[in-house]
Amino acid sequence: MKRGFYTIMAAQFFSSLADNALLVVAIALLIDLHAPAYLTPMLKFVFVLFYVILAPFVGAFADSMPKGRVMFISNTIKITGCGLLFVAMHQYFALAAYAVVGLGAAAYSPAKYGILTELLPPEKLVIANGWIEGLTVASIVLGTVLGGVLITPSVANALLEFNFPFIETGIDNALESGIFLIAIIYTIAALFNLYIPNTGVDHRIPKKNIFFLVHEFSHCVKLLWSDKLGQISLAVTTLFWGAGATLQFIVLKWAEVAMDYPLNQAAQLQGVVALGIAAGAIMAARWISLRQSVTVIPLGIAMGIVVMAMILVKDLWIAIILLILIGGLAGFFVVPMNALLQHRGHILMGAGHSIAVQNFNENLSILVMLSFYALLILFEVHIYIVIAVFGLFVSVMMTLVRKWHLLNQSKEDSLHLIGTRKVR
């Protein structure tokens, strides 16, 4: 791998570490502000909202300048969101502040993944995605654990007693100290962004007109959904990210009901799922080539079935094994599909635009599935029923996607499209 790849990995690690720690602290902040339970998944909702709203524009933004500069600007926006969360005195102001962090993340994502296709040849994309996803999941593990640690009373009190030399932070409570520390981590990520190499790709965009960008984006969406491999990989990753975001909150609620865990301990079980994803991602990077990527779809069906087994678990160690297995299945099937989607998107329309299309679809899925989950919580549906519905939905949808791919293959071998350029 080129040396610039490792700088990208470091920047991604610290930015993702802060993202995941901040989610746990933000949930604790809502609890501290006495927000109703259904507002908890709305944190993730407002975070991804800008991914959908700004999808026609962030791809062009990512392609308009060197990707490292885009990532630096995006991390600066995240730091601003942290600052607003720091002074949040009302539950809806906290949601709005967290939405600003989501704005930074929406601008960050096309650059984060798009630079891989600029920097590396197609045959290294699965390996690169394996490393990126593995490191991202490591940051999810450490981030959720860090978030849980930051809201633990003993740690929070120790942070409150710490004073920076010659600096008055204005920190008055435990949650503020956690938010301040997370802002520092975002700053570290931003510093790494400054050292990401310029790949030499032409960053001029044809037009800056808003209507042109919306038309261009809709054309790109249609182009990727009409591609025989693009549509399958996009369907799988769209379902995966919607399911994954919902599973974060399901695990928190399940840990509360089944294991009687408070938020700081339940957050660590989220990290266990992420460990499994990391292991699955690394194995996929080692064993699955780009041409073999579609063979992993049945693992998505299996993941939905295994999720339903959570209903039967009461013991901690059985829970850990089950959650690692769920994560492992998820990581093993999503990494090859993500690499295939990036490859086809780069061939069809360019890195930034393709990642923007991917983000639009995946985050629209997150909005829909989180909204449905919030409704179930609002109407006080038992978490075991939620788990059963969730697992069955994932398995059925993945089965339908597999049949869709087999139907495509029965008409024409779509694998020959790998490496084939299509004129826009």
Q: Which of 78-87, 182-191, 207-216 has the lowest mean pLDDT?
A: 207-216
For the four alpha carbons of 113, 119, 121 and 126, in that order, the dihedral sign comes to negative
Q: Please answer whether residues 287 and 328 qualify as being in contact, where contact means their C-beta atoms are separated by less than 8 angstroms.
A: no
Residue ranges of domains in the chain: 3-196+209-417
pLDDT digits (tens, 9 = 90+) for 89-133: 889 999 999 999 999 988 887 777 677 777 777 667 767 766 776
pTM summary value? 0.78
Q: For 279-300, what is each residue's pLDDT tens digit?
A: 887 888 788 877 778 888 899 8
Q: Tell me the CATH number for domain 3-196+209-417.
A: 1.20.1250.20
Which of these, 248, 405, 404, lies nearest to 326 by C-alpha position?
248
pLDDT tens for 15-26 read 999 998 999 999
Assign 200 to helix, strand or coil: coil
- pLDDT higher than threshold 70 for residue 422: no
3-class secondary-structure state, position 380: coil
DSSP string over 14-26: HHHHHHHHHHHHH
Which residue from 38, 420, 15 is spatially nearest to 253, judged by alpha carbons? 38
* The most confident of 130-134, 365-369, 415-419, by mean pLDDT: 365-369
Q: What is the average pLDDT value for the chain, to the nearest integer?
A: 83
